[in-house]
C-alpha cells in the first residue's frame, strides 16, 4: 500500500502549487495586455476607426481647394495617426501663393488645413503681364494687369534670373521704412541686390544702396527730408548727400 503523504509534504506541495499560480498569473496578465495593446494599435493605425474622411480648408482666396488638396497629397482612408501634419503643411507651403500652412487632426475622421496666402504689395512688369510680389520680395503669381494700390517694382534682371534677389533686397528696404514713409513710396528700383532706390509721391528720389544698416539710413533720411532737394543719397549714411 502506498503511504499517504505526510502533513509536511502536503503543505509543501500546496505551497508549490500556490507559488506556481502566483508566478503564472502575472505572465498571463502581461500576455493579455500585450495582445490588447496590439489589437488596439491595429485598430488605431489600420482599421477604419480613425480613417481620414473629411478635409476642411480655410483661408483660401487666390487658390482653389483642389489645388491645395493636390499638393497636400492625402492618402484616402489612412488613419489620422499615420498622417504627418508637419509634412502635409510643408507640401502645401510649396505652393507659391502660400505664405504659411498649419494642419490639425479633427478626430475621429477629419483634417483641418489652415492656409495663409501671400499678400501682394508690389508688382514687377514682365512683358505684357505683371508678377505679384509680397512684403518679403517673394513673387507668387502673374496677372494680366497690375492691381491698383501696388508699388511698381523695377529690377535689373528678369525674375527668372537675378531679379529674384533684387526683389528681395528692394522689399527688405521697403519693410525698413516707417509706415508714414512707406505710404509715400510710388516706385521701387533695384538694379542689383546692393543698389536699391525709390521715388516718393512728391517726386523726390531716395538712393538707399544695399539693404543693410537700415535703421541708421532711415534716421539720416528723416533728418535730410526737411531740406529742399530732389535726390537724397543715404547709401553711405556717414556721408549722406543731397542734390
CATH number of 126's domain: 3.40.50.11690
Asked if residue 152 and residue 43 are part of one domain, the reply reads no
State pLDDT tens for residues 35-54: 554 444 444 445 467 899 99
Q: What is the DSSP string of 143-172?
A: ESSPPTTPEEEEESS-TTTTHHHHHHHHHH
Its sign, for the CA torsion 74, 77, 78, 79, is positive
Asked if residue 207 and residue 124 are part of one domain, the reply reads yes
pLDDT at 207 over 80: yes
Number of Cβ within 10 Å of residue 88's Cβ equals 20
- pTM for the full model? 0.77
Asked if residue 108 is part of any domain, the answer here is yes
Asked if residue 3 is part of any domain, the answer here is no
pLDDT band at 194 (very low <50, low <70, confident <90, very high): very high
* Cell reading at 26: 502575472
* Cell reading at 204: 523726390
Asked if residue 106 is part of any domain, the answer here is yes
Q: Give the separation between CA 85 and CA 105, rounded to whole angstroms.
A: 8
* Cell reading at 48: 477604419
State pLDDT tens for residues 66-93: 999 999 999 888 899 999 999 999 999 9
Three-state DSSP state, 57:
strand
State pLDDT tens for residues 141-151: 999 987 899 99
Sheet-wide strand order for 54-58: 54-58, 110-117, 98-106
Asked if residue 197 and residue 84 are part of one domain, the reply reads no
Asked if residue 157 and residue 66 are part of one domain, the reply reads no
Asked if residue 63 and residue 43 are part of one domain, the reply reads no
Asked if residue 209 and residue 160 are part of one domain, the reply reads yes
Asked if residue 224 and residue 162 are part of one domain, the reply reads yes
In which domain, by residue range, is 84 found?
54-117
Asked if residue 129 and residue 73 are part of one domain, the reply reads no
* Cell reading at 56: 476642411
Q: Give the separation between CA 177 and CA 227, rounded to whole angstroms.
A: 19
Asked if residue 188 is part of any domain, the answer here is yes
Amino acid at each position: 500500500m502506498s503511504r499517504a503523504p505526510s502533513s509536511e509534504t502536503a503543505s509543501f506541495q500546496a505551497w508549490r502549487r500556490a507559488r506556481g499560480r502566483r508566478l503564472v498569473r502575472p505572465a498571463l496578465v502581461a500576455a493579455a495586455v500585450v495582445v490588447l495593446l496590439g489589437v488596439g494599435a491595429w485598430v488605431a493605425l489600420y482599421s477604419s476607426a480613425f480613417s481620414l474622411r473629411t478635409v476642411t480648408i480655410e483661408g483660401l482666396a487666390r487658390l482653389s481647394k483642389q489645388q491645395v488638396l493636390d499638393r497636400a497629397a492625402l492618402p484616402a482612408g489612412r488613419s489620422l495617426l499615420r498622417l504627418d501634419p508637419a509634412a502635409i503643411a510643408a507640401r502645401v507651403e510649396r505652393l507659391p501663393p502660400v505664405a504659411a500652412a498649419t494642419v490639425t487632426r479633427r478626430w475621429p475622421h477629419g483634417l483641418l488645413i489652415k492656409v495663409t496666402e501671400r499678400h501682394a504689395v508690389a508688382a514687377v512688369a514682365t512683358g505684357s503681364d505683371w508678377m505679384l510680389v509680397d512684403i518679403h520680395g517673394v513673387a507668387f503669381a502673374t496677372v494680366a494687369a497690375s492691381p491698383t494700390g501696388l508699388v511698381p517694382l523695377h529690377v535689373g534682371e528678369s525674375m527668372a534670373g537675378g531679379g529674384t534677389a533684387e526683389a528681395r533686397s528692394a522689399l527688405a528696404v521697403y519693410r525698413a521704412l516707417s509706415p508714414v514713409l512707406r505710404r509715400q513710396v510710388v516706385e521701387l528700383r533695384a538694379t542689383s541686390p546692393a543698389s536699391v532706390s525709390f521715388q516718393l509721391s512728391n517726386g523726390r528720389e531716395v538712393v538707399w544702396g544695399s539693404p543693410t544698416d537700415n535703421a541708421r539710413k532711415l534716421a539720416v533720411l528723416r533728418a535730410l527730408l526737411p531740406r529742399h532737394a530732389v535726390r537724397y543719397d543715404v547709401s553711405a549714411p556717414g556721408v549722406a548727400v543731397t542734390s
